[in-house]
Amino acid sequence: MVHLVRNLVRVLFLVAVLLLTATYGMANVQKQGDPWLDPVVTKGEFDSTTWIKTNTQPTDHFQADIFGGELIMGMTTRIPIVGGDWANAPDPISNMRDSQQIYQTNSAGDAYALCKQYNLSYVFVPLNRQVFCGFGWISINATKFDNSDYFKLKYSNEDVRIYQVA
């Protein structure tokens, strides 16, 4: 009898602990964990990597932000101006600064000059999110890429445009 009561107390205690864990505890885990599950890049950006893989050369370099660049790297092995491991990159801070400048500047000529300086063949332009080149989230000034003297639109969907540097 004493054994039975003692085991009953143990079972009730564990049931209570497990119920609290499954409800309040897991809700807290979800609250903390969910932001880290965010893919950041959009579905259209992901879909565009099939086009990149098929229509660009393995040696082509891309203007992209860190998340876009790593998506391109991961799905196509093409090389972005920023993203990945900066441990022994020659001058990663300049890459970040200039990548951000390509997206932000109003001048198509300035953006083109920077693309040439880094030997970038394509510009990856996300349309439905801000970009992160290393110094915070910024909005893209996308209209300058429509200047066909410097950039040629090669691919587009609802989330992204990809321009070839002329």
Partner 1 sequence: MRMFESTKWLNKAKIRERLRSLDAVTVLRYVVIVALFILFLSYRLNVLGGYVIPTYGNTMYHVGIERLTLETGHYPTQELSYNGGFPNFYVPAYRLLIVSQAAFTGIDPMVMSGLMTIALAIAVFGVIYAFSKQLLGASAAVCALFFLTLSPEITIFTIRALPELLGLVMFPLTLFFVMKNRKEGPFQFNGYVALSVIAAAVTALTHQITLLILALVLAVYALTQIKNRNEFLKAIVPLVASIAVYGLWQVYSLHTLSILGLSQVRYHEGTPVDFFASAFTVGFFDRAGLLVVPFAAIGLVWLEIKKVEKRFLLYSWVIATLLLTKNDLLGIHIFMDRFLTFFVESLIIAGGVGAFAVLQFLDASIGRAIERDPET
Q: How far is the CB of 22 from partner 1 (least distance, A)?
A: 6
Nearest Cα neighbor of 72 from 166, 138, 143, 162 is 162
Q: Hey, which residues between 84 and 113 contact partner 1 (CB under 8 A)? A: 84-90, 92-93, 95
CA distance 41 to 66: 10
CA distance 46 to 127: 13
DSSP at 36: G
Binding residue for partner 1, selected from 28, 50, 55, 107, defined by CB under 8 A: 28
**Quick one: 88 or 143, whose CB is closer to partner 1?**
88
Note whether 154 binds partner 1 by CB under 8 A.
Answer: no
Give the residue ranges of DSSP H helices in the chain: 2-20, 26-33, 43-55, 66-76, 92-104, 108-117
**Quick one: 38 or 149, whose CB is closer to partner 1?**
38
Tokens of 68: 């876009």
DSSP, collapsed to helix, strand or coil, labels residue 143 as helix
Which range of residues in 75-83, 106-114, 122-130, 146-154 is near partner 1 by CB under 8 A? 75-83
Binding residue for partner 1, selected from 48, 65, 67, 114, defined by CB under 8 A: 67
Nearest Cα neighbor of 95 from 73, 126, 117 is 117
Note whether 54 binds partner 1 by CB under 8 A.
Answer: no
Site residues, partner 1 (CB under 8 A): 1-3, 5-7, 9-11, 14, 17-18, 21-22, 25-26, 28-30, 32-33, 36-41, 43, 46, 61, 67, 70-71, 73-75, 77-90, 92-93, 95, 118-119
